[in-house]
Amino acid sequence: MIFSENSSPEAFDRLRSFSESAVRPEDTLTYHELLGFLYTINCSPEMISPGEWMPMIFANEEANYRDAEEANLVAEAIMALYGQCHQQVLAGSPVMPPSCAPVLPAMDNFCDGAPLAQWANGFLIGHTYLENVWGALIQGEWEDELGSCLMVLSFFCRYRAGRSL
């Protein structure tokens, strides 16, 4: 299965607009950070319930929904992205979302607003959240292997200072 932000473009566009709205908490994950964060959550060696990770999307603050309908639409879009990523991880074939693909010139991928850099930020936020889960399972030579993978996956990261976890 290929990651498809096109399977429900209206829902994902609405989610993107919602997350970028000025009424969201300051450290709300951007749309592309959310994609990286969900990848990390889905790769966890333990099942993490949405009730545990969903508040992190809005920096553990109120999301400032306009009404219950908006809250439901946003939650449905987040869970649709989560489900797509989950299916790919279970199948052993996760792919980078097309909107996070590297761009040319290559240095543009390091800019704060670059989708790839944002994806890497979300990935690192998720990994930091799950560090104890992974640390309890990975020891010895696997520690080095995980460290190498993390280095590659977070290469473009421009972690936001002060981001509360």
68 lies in some domain: yes
Could you give phi then psi for residue 38, rounded to 5 degrees? -65, -35
Within a domain: residue 161? no
pLDDT for res 133: 85
pLDDT at 163: 52
Q: How many domains does the chain have?
A: 1
Q: Does the pLDDT at position 109 exceed 70?
A: yes
Residue 159, in any domain of the structure? no
Residue 83 CB partners (closer than 8 Å, separation 6+): none
Confidence of residue 165 (pLDDT cuts 50, 70, 90): very low
**157 pLDDT more than 80:** no
SS3 156: coil
Residue 71 lies in a domain: yes
Which residue's entry shows tokens 């972690």? 159
**Within a domain: 1:** no
In a domain, 98, yes or no: yes
CATH classification of the domain holding 56? 1.20.120
Whether 32 maps to a domain, the answer reads yes
Is residue 50 domain-resident?
A: yes
**pLDDT tens, residue by residue, 115-151:** 999 999 999 999 889 988 887 777 766 777 777 877 8
Residue 4 has a pLDDT of: 53
Tens-digit pLDDT profile for residues 82-102: 999 999 999 998 888 889 999
Write down the pTM of the prediction: 0.86
pLDDT computed for residue 96 by the predictor: 86
Is the pLDDT at 164 greater than 60? The verdict is: no
Contact 36, 121 (CB under 8 A): yes
Q: How far apart are CA 85 and CA 163, in angstroms?
A: 24
Range of the domain at 73: 9-153
- The DSSP letter of residue 18 is H
Lowest mean pLDDT among 4-8, 64-68, 109-113, 118-122: 4-8
Report the pLDDT value the prediction gives residue 88, as an integer from 0 to 100: 93
- Give the single-character DSSP code of 110: G
Read off the pLDDT of residues 46-62 as tens digits, 9 standing for 90 and up: 999 999 999 999 999 99
